[in-house]
Chains A and B, each alone.
Chain A
Amino acid sequence: QLQLQESGPGLVKPSETLSLTCTVSGGSISSSSYYWGWIRQPPGKGLEWIGSIFYSGSTYYNPSLKSRVTISVDTSKNQFSLKLSSMTAADTAVYYCARHGRGDPDAFDIWGQGTMVTVSP
Chain B
Amino acid sequence: RKEVEQDPGPFNVPEGATVAFNCTYSNSASQSFFWYRQDCRKEPKLLMSVYSSGNEDGRFTAQLNRASQYISLLIRDSKLSDSATYLCVASSASKIIFGSGTRLSIRP
* Same complex: no
